[in-house]
Structure 1
Amino acid sequence: MTYAHEHFFMTGDWPVRNEPDYRLDSLDAAVAEVAAAQRLGLSAVVEMTPLGFGRSPSLMKALAERTGLHVIAVTGFHKSAYYSDAHWLHHYTPGEITELLVAEIELGMDEYGLVGPLVRRSSARAGAIKIATAYHAFGRGVQRLVGAVAQAAVRTGVPVVTHCDKGTMGHELLDALSACGVAADRVVLGHIDHNPDPGYLISLAERGAYLAFDRPGRIKYGPDSEIVALVAELAGRGLGHRLLFGMDLARRSYWPGLGGGPGLTYLLERFVPRLAAAGLGEVAESALTGNPRAAFALRPPGP
């Protein structure tokens, strides 16, 4: 049973310093949060913290060892605006960036997030590559990064996972990745339910992309009833096999153990039963099991 978009550790760098609520650096708090969800059946997560946020391979590894949770970590990038003008992603060639990403997948993630100049490789390797767009725009240099990410994904056989700001840029990302050899069924569109337009989401799913619904429980973005209706609409079109669920609890204020909510248990304790009551129990089960198994599977690498 897999959550397709989570954050357990963001330990530094300027986005975290600028917004202290992003700072997630407690292994004990993460263990407690995971253990509560495991009692409801959770067994795997995709940890979506990219380079530049204090991603911690050692803490992710410790979390997996202490809880038995299967953790799929990512390499890659958040929105380019989060990186200073001096950051290498703005200056290295696409080929050089591809090599850095491939090494994180094949050799091991750098404990320091490739801030350089030395690399301290973890024994833990990344299992997906993240790319992020801005609101209704790629953002500075992102089209160039898309090419580097795509080449690394093709060479290693891992999927591409995305941050679609406010649910926008879905088709544009699929077009850009496809032009570089990444098929739509190797792409997970994150935050896509922040744009709760059934026609738009159906058109993305019909292309073969996976839709990561990570809004349940965060009512400030809209009620869960919207997401239930979207799931029903997609299932009614025969597209339930393209759905993934997660919670994206990337703030301290989302964790009960740190004084917030809704917590990692919300999806299984509150949202999935609501889907079941709406006659969507089988769709929910697939979105948490068979769909992520296909979406995050390694494929034979290409040239």
Structure 2
Amino acid sequence: MSFIRTFKGDINPEELGVTYSHEHIVCRPPYWVEMGQDDLILDNPEASLKEVLDFKELGGESIVDATAVDYGRDIRSVAEISNETGINIIGTAGFNKGFLWSAKIPDHLKSVTGEYGTYGQWIDATSIDKLADFVISEVENGLEGTGFKAGQVKFGTGYNSISPLEEKTLRAVARAHHHTKAPMHSHTEAGTMALEQIQLLKEENVDLSSMSFGHMDRNLDPFYHNKVAETGAFLSFDGISKIKYAPESERIRCILDLVDKGFEDQILVSGDTARKSYFKHYDHGLGFYNILGNWVPRFKEEAKQNGYDAEKLVRKFFIDNPKRCFTFKK
């Protein structure tokens, strides 16, 4: 029987509904805390609750919280937000990217990581299979011992590079995926290295239809997108609202290019909203409201002008595709 794993328990895929497929809700990344980068610390659960309520009022039903262990999860606060709002939240096991791993490991994780001082030291000293066991436990038993189980597994790589430790976590997450059948997600720094990740995943015998590749709209290259899509993987356009990286017209152009090539069933859309300044209720930003409230109407208008069935595409990007992407394939 297929299911999607949320903080509220396992649900039928048909219950997922309108979904943001890559977000952050409450997190205190140790690296950014140590660097004094307050904008990158989402530490006000009440403000985050209001953002989720904005999403719900627009018809939103589920959010994938892509916060891995090295990005400072606040599992209990996120679970409380899920409980209070009724929104399904999918948690994430696994790892992010290498440059974050110089940060100190919080004391509450020492029972899992041992006496290693930093994430990098822990990952370096631990075998691939033992790291896989950690990820498996977070899927099957609960994130950081809370009992709230992860609904996807994640790894990440750097900008135009994959370090030895990043390759190690990729392989560990792939092996955890084989054991748990959890869907997989990757962080691609600035949208790079997805093709190189794919080669390593093939070495681990991963069925790439179980993968979603993040931040594809940080690298607005249709040829590159096509190569990723040809593997059967999902492409996450999760930088909506971030005009500093690209205008929405370019994101929409690349999305429709994939539709033209027959890949409309592999597209996910979200915001990766991970700064105070991006959130309405933290710092007067666009917040969770913007995608459903502003971007979707704009996308529909532009798609219709160019002869596309806009309603069908929006349903695929926010309902049908997430439903398949985040299902455990037993």
Alignment-derived partner of residue 129 in structure 2: 95
The reply to whether residue 291 of structure 1 matches residue 321 of structure 2 is yes
The alpha-carbon deviation at position 140 of structure 1 amounts to 4.0
Amino acid at match of 1:183: D
> What is the aligned residue count?
290
Q: In the alignment, is residue 104 of structure 1 matched against residue 138 of structure 2?
A: yes
CA distance change for structure 1 residues 15 and 276 in 2, over 3 Å: closer, same or farther? Answer: same
Identical residues among aligned pairs (%): 29
Q: Which runs of 5+ in 1 are unaligned?
A: 111-120
Which runs of 5 or more residues in structure 2 are unaligned? 1-17, 103-116, 305-309
The TM-score with structure 2 as length reference comes to 0.85
Q: What is the rounded CA distance, in whole Å, between the counterparts of 1:14 and 1:37 in structure 2?
A: 29
- Determine the structure 2 residue equivalent to 1:78: 96
Which residue is equivalent to 2:81? 63
2: CA distance between counterparts of 1:17 and 1:53? 12
- Residues in 2 aligned to 1:215 and 1:197: alpha-carbon distance in whole angstroms: 15
Matched, 1:125 2:149: yes
After TM superposition, give the deviation of residue 63 of structure 1 in Å. 0.8
* Superposition deviation, residue 281 in structure 1: 3.0
| SS of residue matched to 1:219 | coil
Q: 1:23 aligns with which of 41, 56, 65?
A: 41
76-85 or 229-238, which deviates more: 76-85
Listed as ranges, the matches of 1:231-242 within 5 Å are 231-242=255-266
Q: Which runs of at least 4 in structure 1 moved beyond 3 Å after TM superposition?
A: none
Listed one character per residue, the Cα deviations across residues 149-185 of structure 1 (whole Å, up to 9, x for unaligned) are 1000110011111111111111111121121121111
1:81–1:140 contact (8 Å) kept in structure 2: no
C-alpha distance in structure 2 between counterparts of 1:150 and 1:240, whole Å: 25
SS of 2:212's partner is strand
Aligned CA-pair RMSD:
1.2
Distance 1:11 1:296 in 2: 25
Q: What is the distance in 2 between the residues matched to 1:194 and 1:281?
A: 25
SS of 2:223's equivalent in the other structure is helix
The 1-side partners of 2:239 and 2:79 are apart by 26
Aligned ranges 1:192-271 → 2 under 5 Å? 192-271=216-295
Matched residue, 2:19: 2
Would you say the 8 A contact 2:183–2:328 is kept in 1? yes
Residues 40, 268 of structure 1: 8 Å contact kept: yes
Task: After TM superposition, list the pairs within 5 Å mapping 1:33-72 onto structure 2.
Answer: 33-72=51-90
| Contact persistence 2:156–2:170 (CA under 8 A) | no
Q: Aligned equivalents of 1:252 and 1:82: distance in 2? A: 19
Q: Distance in 2 between matches of 1:17 and 1:67?
A: 32
TM-score normalised by length of structure 1: 0.93
